[in-house]
Amino acid sequence: MPFVLDASIVLDWALEEHRAAAETARRRLTGDTALVPGLWWFEVRNGLVIAERRRRTSADISTSFLRQLAGFPVVIAQLPGETGLLSLARRHNLTVYDAAYLELALREGLDLATLDAELADAARAEGVRLVG
């Protein structure tokens, strides 16, 4: 069954941190598809550039990782409705960026893979199951 994939999970893969939830999400992608909001594409790349600046990875490793990531079954979802998105952000004190992942999970009735503690708490409060 598809699931919603947060950028924090993907950055765990890129930086080889091997957190349990990230590893579970990676295993699920062998047979499942991940849905992501459009901002995911930018968040992943921004996270890699920041990791390069902090010398946690290199440009060559980031480039190689992005080539690998392109082969994963990840689908960018349609934009959410503004009212629902803003309501979630306000209700759970989330950024609109994080609320986009939660809104997508709620809209599609899917599990959410994230390493963000605040987003995970909001997901639980909304009855969304977490991966891992």
Strands in 74-76's sheet, in edge-to-edge order, are 74-76, 34-36, 3-5, 111-113
CB burial string 38-48: b at 16+ within 10 A, e below: ebbeebbeebb
Model confidence, pTM:
0.95
**C-beta separation of 39 from 6 below 8 A:** no
Task: Band the pLDDT of 109: cuts 50, 70, 90.
Answer: very high
Task: Band the pLDDT of 129: cuts 50, 70, 90.
Answer: very high
Host H or E run for residue 42: helix 39-53
What pLDDT, on a 0 to 100 scale, did the predictor assign at position 41?
A: 97
pLDDT tens profile 44-97: 999 999 999 999 999 999 999 999 999 999 999 999 999 999 999 999 999 999
pLDDT tens profile 13-24: 999 999 999 999
Mean pLDDT, rounded, of the chain: 97
CATH (residue range 3-125): 3.40.50.1010
pLDDT tens profile 24-36: 999 999 999 999 9
Where do the structural domains in the chain lie, given as residue ranges? 3-125
